Amino acid sequence: GAVVSQHPSWVICKSGTSVKIECRSLDFQATTMFWYRQFPKQSLMLMATSNEGSKATYEQGVEKDKFLINHASLTLSTLTVTSAHPEDSSFYICSARPGTANYEQYFGPGTRLTVT
Amino acid sequence: AQSVTQPDIHITVSEGASLELRCNYSYGATPYLFWYVQSPGQGLQLLLKYFSGDTLVQGIKGFEAEFKRSQSSFNLRKPSVHWSDAAEYFCAVSKAAGNKLTFGGGTRVLVKP
């Protein structure tokens, strides 16, 4: 149980285009999902927290107009990188938390984005 | 603000030898502490967590960790390493069990045959 999937697992896009990454909780309902970014050989940095049906909360320094997050249902959150540039190339990881507080979060396998 | 430091970027250990990964945290209140392992092509897997109670926590895959409040540490240990333990290990802290996580820089473990 507690499986989180991400799609696609890797994507290559051209500079200036937008790309959407999906995060799904497969066997539980996730009221909260988190989006992290991981540069090569570095740690995970939280980008934003999304709650189903409400606007995402972005961490300081993360451009909300560039990284659009939508948590439209209890099993799906999407991250859209708009007008992507090579510096947006990274590994994007989502996690999902069932229920409310005192539940651990479960991580997806990540999406490798390469912007050319 | 909370922060996590993993002093060792790389550790090389022989198969069968013991392993200890260091983690120091900075947080004003009682922290919720986690150790995750990341293998290539796989998502982060939770090894163990500490919320309260017994300061020695047992996890999966034979790992354990000890919470030492006086040292602000939560070091991960394994008595005998297997080749499959080669991976990246992350220590993390949060204010509550399901809250956003702050990760340390990670420690890459290499296992020599």
Return the beta strands (E) in A39-100 as ranges: 44-51, 57-58, 67-73, 76-81, 90-98
Please indicate if any CB of chain B lies within 8 Å of the CB of A109: yes
CA distance B25 to B71: 9
The reported pLDDT for the residue numbered A1 is: 67
Residue in chain A nearest B96 by alpha carbon: A102
- What average pLDDT does the segment B84-97 reach? 91
Tell me the mean pLDDT in the region B15-25. 97
- The residue-averaged pLDDT of A41-69 equals 91
**Which residue of A4, A105, A107 is in closest CB contact with B98?**
A105
The answer to whether the Cβ–Cβ distance between B44 and A104 falls below 8 Å is: no
**CB-CB contact of B35 with B94 (8 Å):** no
**pLDDT value of residue A101:** 57
Is pLDDT above 60 for A30? yes
Pick the residue from chain A with its C-alpha nearest to B46. Answer: A106
Residues A84-100: tens digit of each pLDDT:
999 999 999 999 988 76
Task: Give A 8-47 residues with CB within 8 A of chain B.
Answer: 32, 34, 42-46
What average pLDDT does this structure show over B58-65?
97
Residue A75 to chain B, least CA–CA distance (Å) = 17
